């Protein structure tokens, strides 16, 4: 906690400086307004602010804010026992300019001061068209009856993995038997998986909560590229483990522990670039889990240096399959980019069982802002194209498709499944469920909500049991909503919705967009 002390007055009450590197040519984005009549000086806000934006001055007995440090995470608002705090957008604005917007000017000023690439967390926040919000669902009326999910069975169970081209059966001893073995499958009770978030980018507590919730809800969580902590190995049957370009934490036990293995090629938030966990964040525990020396930088190269072609990818896929004796599906995760459909086709042919397409609104623990905001394509378009391409090539049944990046609600899930996905990854939504307010400071490692931080005092802000319950509740709520939506469309299983684009109509989309999505405009039969 930060207290005013005479000798440190210059530090805490620091006057704004125009010095180079001190970044004060700018106005703060937020102002914290405290109702003095309500504030009881319990100092909870001071203790909770991890961005050093809130101070207590015992001399005047007031709490004040250094607004330029405030990131608008609203932790203080949430913790204040008397609701005395409001965080407002600063009324000060640069002169209106449609071309030179505030964020652009601020970015330039900051960069002029620091001379480095700006980093950020979370997903693309720019105002690109959100196709989910331009698609509506069909409903049954009179001629085709809707189904009441409260009375009729409604199947949400989904199997992910390669499906055989045809099913051959034989009678033995009067019973029906499959003639060929079905390749390994992941069984999901809800078509939602927790997205890859590595231990390191998030803390142990949150990952443990994801694991518990996944097990409770009958689905999976993805370890990301940070390895699987020994304490979480018991959740292996609900874990999808990643093999990424850094190969962190990968050994045979890691692969054996998991339900499925995922080769991470790209990430929606930062397609084509690697990752970098600074050495100071590699604590003893993280170093053990990632299997790298304590304090050393954890660098994930941009490409896998052994994968330069589909053939190379095939080698890795089969290396993993061999290692796990063909008992686990292997998934390949790529970012949604322009030629995603062709790449997906190649991946399917390389032997992957699952393809994950990560759209450009997908989150990240840290990425250069400029890349996050300007690279990649929306997931809706990518899934529609990939699904269509795989169907056209007659290999759709070879792989399951997981859509990631920008799934915000159960409606998004229904829409993306109607566009051709089998299931979805949720990352940001999972974080929001446990407190995240999308302040986009994940890269700083001091998340006030205790999610994207490994500082022990902050990580404690996630209570594993509470967080697991919240995550489970979210999945449960979404499952109920999905059942309702299926019912009103007259569909009684999620299988029947997959790729069923007739259930979708576009609103306010151009013909080009409608063609890419493969849907009709609203109003057309």
- Residue 84 neighbours by CB under 8 Å, 6+ apart: 34, 35, 36, 38, 39, 40
Among positions 25, 463, 492, 496, the unique one binding another protein when judged by CB under 8 A? 463
Give the nearer residue to another protein in terms of CB position, either 81 or 303. Answer: 81
Nearer to another protein, 42 or 315 (CB): 42
Distance CA 220, CA 408 (A): 18
Give me the helix-helix angle, 379-392 and 410-418, nearest 10°: 30
Q: Is residue 525 within 8 Å of residue 503, measured between CB atoms? A: no
Q: At a CB cut-off of 8 Å and minimum separation 6, what does 272 contact?
A: 266, 302, 335, 337, 375
Binding to another protein by residue 40, rule CB under 8 A? Answer: yes
Using DSSP bridges, classify how beta strands 354-358 and 367-368 pair: parallel, antiparallel or unpaired: unpaired
Question: Which one of the spans 55-63, 97-105, 411-419, 426-434 is the region binding another protein (CB under 8 A)?
Answer: 55-63
281 binds another protein, rule: CB under 8 A: no
Which 113-142 positions form the footprint of another protein (CB under 8 A)?
none
What values do phi and psi take at 245, rounded to 5?
A: -65, -25
Letters for 401-440 (x = contact with another protein by CB under 8 A, - = none) are ----------------------------------------
Strand partners, 240: 222, 260
Residue 89 three-state SS: strand
Contact of 468 with 98, CB cutoff 8 Å: no
Quick check: 84 and 35 in contact, CB under 8 A? yes
Contact between 41 and another protein per CB under 8 A: yes
CB of 118 or CB of 233, closer to another protein: 233
Write the binding mask 309 to 348 for another protein: x where contact by CB under 8 A, - elsewhere.
----------------------------------------
Does residue number 198 form part of the binding site for another protein (CB under 8 A)? no
Distance separating alpha carbons of residues 34 and 88, to the nearest angstrom: 11
Choice between 165 and 234, CB closer to another protein: 234
Among 28, 30, 44, 257, interactor with another protein by CB under 8 A: 44
Nearer to another protein, 165 or 457 (CB): 457
488 binds another protein (CB under 8 A): no
- Closest by CA to 161, choosing from 289, 331, 18, 387, is 331
Check binding of 50 to another protein (CB under 8 A): no
Shortest CB 455 distance to another protein, Å: 7
Nearer Cβ to another protein (450/518): 450
Task: Return the bridge partners of 425, or none.
Answer: 193
215/264 with CB nearer another protein: 215
Residue 3 binding another protein, by CB under 8 A? yes
Strand-pair category, 158-160 with 186-188: antiparallel
3-class SS of residue 169 = strand
Smallest separation, CB 208 to another protein (Å)? 4
Residues at the interface with another protein (CB under 8 A)? 3, 37-38, 40-44, 47-48, 58-59, 61, 79, 81-82, 204-205, 208-209, 212, 231, 285, 450, 455-457, 459-466
């Amino acid at each position: 906690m930060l207290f005013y002390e005479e000798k440190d007055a210059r530090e805490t009450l620091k006057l704004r400086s125009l010095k180079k590197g001190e970044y004060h040519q700018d106005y703060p984005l937020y102002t914290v307004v405290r109702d003095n009549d309500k504030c009881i000086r319990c100092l909870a806000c001071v203790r909770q602010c991890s961005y050093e934006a809130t101070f207590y001055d015992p001399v005047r007995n007031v709490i004040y804010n250094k607004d330029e440090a405030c990131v608008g995470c609203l932790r203080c608002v949430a913790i204040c026992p008397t609701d005395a705090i409001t965080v407002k957008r600063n009324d000060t604005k640069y002169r209106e300019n449609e071309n030179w917007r505030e964020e652009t000017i601020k970015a330039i000023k900051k960069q002029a001061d620091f001379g480095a690439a700006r980093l950020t967390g979370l997903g693309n926040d720019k105002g690109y068209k959100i196709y989910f919000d331009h698609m509506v669902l069909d409903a049954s009326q009179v001629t085709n009856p809707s189904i009441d999910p409260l009375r009729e069975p409604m199947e949400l169970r989904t199997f992910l993995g390669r499906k055989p081209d045809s099913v051959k059966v034989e009678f033995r001893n009067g019973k029906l038997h499959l003639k060929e073995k079905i390749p390994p499958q992941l069984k999901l009770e809800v078509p939602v998986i927790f997205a890859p978030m590595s231990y390191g980018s998030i803390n142990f507590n949150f990952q443990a909560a994801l694991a518990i919730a996944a097990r409770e809800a009958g689905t999976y969580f993805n370890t990301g590229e940070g390895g699987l902590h020994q304490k979480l190995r018991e959740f292996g049957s609900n874990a999808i483990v990643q093999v990424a370009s850094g190969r962190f934490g990968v050994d045979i036990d890691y692969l054996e522990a998991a339900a499925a293995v995922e080769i991470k090629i790209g990430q929606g938030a930062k397609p084509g670039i690697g990752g970098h966990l600074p050495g100071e964040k590699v604590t003893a525990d993280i170093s053990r889990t990632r299997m790298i020396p304590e304090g050393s930088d954890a660098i994930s190269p941009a490409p896998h240096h052994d994968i330069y072609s589909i053939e190379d990818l095939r080698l890795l896929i089969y290396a993993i399959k061999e290692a796990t004796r063909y008992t686990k599906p292997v998934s390949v995760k790529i970012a949604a980019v322009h030629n995603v459909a062709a790449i997906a086709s190649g991946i399917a042919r390389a032997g992957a069982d699952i393809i994950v397409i990560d759209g450009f609104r997908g989150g990240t623990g840290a990425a250069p802002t400029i890349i996050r905001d300007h690279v990649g394509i929306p997931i809706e378009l990518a899934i529609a194209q990939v699904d269509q391409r795989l169907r056209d090539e007659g290999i759709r049944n070879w792989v399951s498709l997981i859509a990631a990046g920008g799934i915000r609600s159960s409606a998004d899930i229904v829409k993306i499944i109607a566009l051709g996905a089998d299931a979805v990854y949720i990352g940001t939504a999972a974080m929001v469920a446990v407190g995240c307010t999308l302040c986009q400071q994940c890269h700083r490692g001091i998340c006030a909500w205790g999610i994207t931080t490994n500082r022990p005092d902050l990580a404690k802000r996630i209570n594993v049991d509470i967080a697991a319950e919240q995550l489970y509740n979210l999945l449960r709520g979404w499952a109920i909503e999905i059942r309702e939506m299926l019912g009103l469309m007259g569909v009684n299983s999620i299988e029947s919705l997959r790729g069923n684009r007739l259930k979708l109509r576009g609103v306010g989309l151009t013909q080009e967009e409608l063609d890419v999505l493969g849907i009709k405009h609203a109003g057309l039969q």
